[in-house]
Amino acid sequence: MIDAFEATYFGSVPGWAIIVFIWGAAGILFTAQVVQAARLIRLGGPDDRFQDIGGRMREWLSGWLGQKRVLEDRVIGTLHAMIFWGFLALATDMFDLASGGRFEPLLAGIHPMLANSWNLLVDMGYLLAAIGTFGALYRRVIVKPPKMEHESMVEGISILLTILGICGTAFIIEAHAGAGRWEPVGAWVAANLMASFSASTQAGLAASSYWLHMMLIAGFLVAIPASKHMHLVTALPAVIFHDREPSGKMRPLAVDDEGKAVPLDDLDIEEFGVSSYSQYSWRSLLDGWVCTTCFRCQDVCPAYASGKSLNPMQIIHDLRDYANEHAPILLAGGTPEESIIDRFTPEAIWACTTCNACVDACPVYIEHVPKLTDARRHLVMEAMEYPEQLNVAMGNLENSSNPYGFGAHERGDWAADLGVKINEPAEYIYFVGCAASFDERNQKVARATISLLQEAGLDVGILGMSEGCSGDPARRMGNEYLFQMLAESNMATFQELGVKRIIASCPHCFHTLGKEYGDYGGDELEVLHHSEIIAKLQEEGRLPDMEKNGKNGRKITYHDPCYLGRIGGVTEAPRNVIGGVDVEPERHGKDSFCCGAGGAMMWMEEDPDKRVNEIRAKELAETGCDTVAVGCPFCSIMVNDGLNSVGAEMDVMDVAELLWEQMQAQLAEAEKLEEVAVSGAEE
């Protein structure tokens, strides 16, 4: 039947010539656009994304083929996955139709069952794509989500109608070609729709459908690289070449042949961070053509939710738009007058809390945060253009190795009466961190943590005045040089004392020491969050189980710190320490909402009407609990301030404090009972 369509003459022009022209023109336009995008992406610097091929292939199977992240949104994700899987199935049918129906006979020649299975697969593919498209159209035209109000409705609806046209014409062609039981939808169309027409009308409808089918596919091919649907081409390499390093891990200024950070004494580089388009790596630039405009990164961004100028999705769009607008200059090796930082805007760059929610939510593995932190490196170390408030924290870090400016001799004062080892070899070193060392509120957390570890009989010590800031604030604010100075100093201390196992109650220290110090000689460090070791000691019976012994009458919810839960992957241990959570906030676990302190925001001022912590405080207050358990000193401060701002009366306590409080209450109760018993005996 398809041969008959191709054999049709339009005047003196045969049908096959028209097909060749349509597909040739579409192919040329498609290829030209893809080649231009590839040339712009290749302007980026080197980026070794070829290690761990096995892991990358597994992620390809689950993330690209299996649509793992897409399906995390059960409704919209399912619709998208249906269209995706449908297109994978019907892609071979497009080839079959364009080649005059020569693909099916080829399969039948191998084995009839192979051709039958293929027919069923294609039929179901068209059906899946059609159902998914109808759902997407309903959402755009009827539901009209507010977040989509700034997106081009014409483009979106046109593409969806094109897909429906491709599916609908395919079913008509199937029906006229004598669809059997291996093409159930085509057979249904033949029996219920086509049967009411005369034979000549059916033939004319099928012929028209064939040519419309060809033109719609060709038009869709041309539209792909010119729209957000370019992700159909780029999502595959984006998933395969995604970052296999630990979540949230930043890279050194320079690395040696072994992939380790070049020591500061040997560092010889002229440029810091990124200020121009081509200073980004090729993989980072690829992201500009990968975005599906699904709004997921926008939906989870704390900066965007609080009304700041940062929208992670817009950052990715800016990258592509900048490249396309300045393509002639960039491809000629020139530098546009407008920098990529100008396009992003400094306000957006400095609004990021580096919580990684956008990266974690992206279904096509876009890496938003490094684009902003790389820009910060340039603004701080080269351009010297950054929020003035950071001067105090940076100066204190450089002079006193803590952002508060206290003297190093005061680092261990909080533990003066606890009898803990100080700057001596021990099985575990408790890395206290700056907040718990100097902030009076968080010193209570440090005391509770050490007391619990001692109660369990753990050989634990602290570094005292030998401990320096882990460097997280410096690194996230863009002062990579200062971070490396702090990291190298701490590593020298660790090596001198033979430190191998570290406990940290600050998730930022936990992440930096455990995931980032490996580049600076800390490969063998085992770093645990204090909730992990406490939970382990509870399992071993060396500390009491809080669930069995009650919670001192408290009704507890838990706030997951970004650098512990989402980035660190530790969500169950802190809950286990406190015997479970009575009521979870709406967003929790790896989907938790940021407190607003990360990304050096702890050291910057926020506009009163744009505070992230107030958003989170309202969510926690809605649980109806009287206590918020936390596992981070910065979260403790931010959540407490947020609760005060929204007028919610809730206690904010670290998980270690809650367990220690319970143990002290039990001890007091035991002493009281003993006194009563002694008094009774005396009487």
Residue 521 pLDDT grade (very low, low, confident, very high; cuts 50, 70, 90): very high
What mean pLDDT do residues 393-411 have? 96
Residue 377 · residue 273 · CB < 8 Å: yes
Q: 528 in helix, strand or coil?
A: strand
In a domain, 249, yes or no: no
Instruction: Kindly state whether residues 411 and 368 are assigned to the same domain.
Output: no
Q: Which CATH number does the domain housing residue 11 bear?
A: 1.20.950.20
| Confidence check: pLDDT of 124 > 50 | yes
What mean pLDDT do residues 366-373 have? 98
Task: With CA atoms as reference, report the closest residue to 576 among 541, 530, 534.
Answer: 534
> What percent of the chain is predicted at pLDDT more than 70?
96
The residue among 319, 351, 381 that closes a domain is: 381
Compute φ and ψ for 561, nearest 5 degrees: -70, 140
Instruction: Kindly state whether residues 494 and 532 are assigned to the same domain.
Output: yes
What mean pLDDT do residues 84-111 have? 80
In a domain, 251, yes or no: no
Sign of the Cα torsion 371, 376, 377, 383 reads positive
What mean pLDDT do residues 448-452 have? 98
- pLDDT score, position 673: 73
| Confidence check: pLDDT of 232 > 50 | yes
- pLDDT score, position 91: 81
SS (H, E, C) 576-633: HHCCCCCCCCCCCHHHCCCCCCCCCHHHCCCCCCCCHHHHHHHHHHCCCCCEEEECCH
- pLDDT score, position 547: 83
What mean pLDDT do residues 515-534 have? 97
In a domain, 51, yes or no: yes
DSSP structural state of residue 273: S
Instruction: Kindly state whether residues 342 and 435 are assigned to the same domain.
Output: no
CA distance 123 to 165: 15
DSSP structural state of residue 351: T
Alpha helices (runs of H) in 242-345, residue ranges in sequence order: 282-286, 296-300, 302-305, 312-325, 327-331, 340-344
Helix 76-98 / helix 103-110 crossing angle, nearest 10 deg: 90
Instruction: Kindly state whether residues 401 and 348 are assigned to the same domain.
Output: no
- pLDDT score, position 1: 47
For the segment 651-675, what is each residue's pLDDT rounded down to a tens digit?
999 999 999 999 999 888 877 776 7
| Confidence check: pLDDT of 77 > 50 | yes
In a domain, 670, yes or no: no
Instruction: Kindly state whether residues 71 and 211 are assigned to the same domain.
Output: yes
Instruction: Kindly state whether residues 416 and 375 are assigned to the same domain.
Output: no
Residue 414 · residue 440 · CB < 8 Å: no
| Confidence check: pLDDT of 337 > 60 | yes
| 367, β-bridge pairs | none
Q: With left for phi above 0 and alpha for psi between -120 and 50, is residue 452 left, alpha or beta?
A: alpha
Give residue 141's domain range: 2-235
| Confidence check: pLDDT of 447 > 80 | yes
What's the whole-number average pLDDT of the chain? 93
CA distance 536 to 428: 14
In a domain, 455, yes or no: yes
Residue 554 · residue 635 · CB < 8 Å: no
Judged by average pLDDT, the poorest of 195-204, 231-240, 272-281, 439-448 is 195-204
| Confidence check: pLDDT of 50 > 60 | yes
Q: Which CATH number does the domain housing residue 277 bear?
A: 1.10.1060
Joined together, the tokens standing for residue 17 give 């010539």
Name 335's Cβ contacts closer than 8 Å, sequence gap at least 6.
Answer: 276, 329
- pLDDT score, position 318: 97
In a domain, 166, yes or no: yes
In a domain, 253, yes or no: no
- pLDDT score, position 509: 98
| Confidence check: pLDDT of 11 > 70 | no
406-443 residues labelled b (16+ CB within 10 A) or e (exposed): beeeebbebbeeeebbbbeebebbbbbbbbbbbbeebb
Single-letter amino acid, residue 64? W
What mean pLDDT do residues 435-445 have? 97
β strands within 459-525, DSSP E: 460-462, 501-504
Residue 585 pLDDT grade (very low, low, confident, very high; cuts 50, 70, 90): very high
What mean pLDDT do residues 200-227 have? 90
CA distance 640 to 642: 5
Residue 41 · residue 289 · CB < 8 Å: yes
| Confidence check: pLDDT of 555 > 90 | yes
| Confidence check: pLDDT of 6 > 60 | no
Residue 425 pLDDT grade (very low, low, confident, very high; cuts 50, 70, 90): very high
| Confidence check: pLDDT of 579 > 50 | yes
For the segment 133-156, what is each residue's pLDDT rounded down to a tens digit?
999 999 888 888 887 776 777 888
- pLDDT score, position 517: 98
Instruction: Kindly state whether residues 358 and 416 are assigned to the same domain.
Output: no
Instruction: Kindly state whether residues 375 and 403 are assigned to the same domain.
Output: no
From the CB of residue 330, how many other CB atoms can be counted at a distance below 10 Å?
Answer: 20
Tokens 């060392």 identify what position? Answer: 437
In a domain, 658, yes or no: yes
Per-residue CA distances from 71 to 67, 122, 126, 312 (Å): 6, 22, 20, 21
| Confidence check: pLDDT of 593 > 80 | yes
* Burial of 95 from C-beta contacts in 10 A (0-12 / 13-18 / 19+): exposed
Residue 178 pLDDT grade (very low, low, confident, very high; cuts 50, 70, 90): confident
Instruction: Kindly state whether residues 517 and 642 are assigned to the same domain.
Output: yes
Residue 490 · residue 522 · CB < 8 Å: no
pTM: 0.92
Instruction: Kindly state whether residues 542 and 479 are assigned to the same domain.
Output: yes
Residue 364 pLDDT grade (very low, low, confident, very high; cuts 50, 70, 90): very high
| Confidence check: pLDDT of 161 > 60 | yes
CA distance 412 to 429: 13
Q: Kind of pairing, strands 627-630 and 428-431?
A: unpaired
Instruction: Kindly state whether residues 553 and 434 are assigned to the same domain.
Output: yes
CA distance 646 to 614: 7
- pLDDT score, position 7: 56
Give DSSP secondary structure letters for 360-382: HH-TT----HHHHHHHHHHHHHT
What mean pLDDT do residues 182-191 have? 92
- pLDDT score, position 92: 80
**CB under 8 Å, gap of 24 or more: what pairs does 341-344 form?**
341/274, 341/275, 341/375, 341/378, 341/379, 343/318, 344/315, 344/318, 344/371, 344/372, 344/375
Instruction: Kindly state whether residues 200 and 318 are assigned to the same domain.
Output: no
| Confidence check: pLDDT of 416 > 70 | yes
Per-residue CA distances from 453 to 110, 226, 353, 504 (Å): 69, 60, 32, 12
Domains in the chain: how many in total? 3
Joined together, the tokens standing for residue 223 give 């539209």
Give DSSP secondary structure letters for 25-38: HHHHHHHHHHHHHH
Single-letter amino acid, residue 567? I
What mean pLDDT do residues 558-574 have? 98
Q: 652 in helix, strand or coil?
A: strand
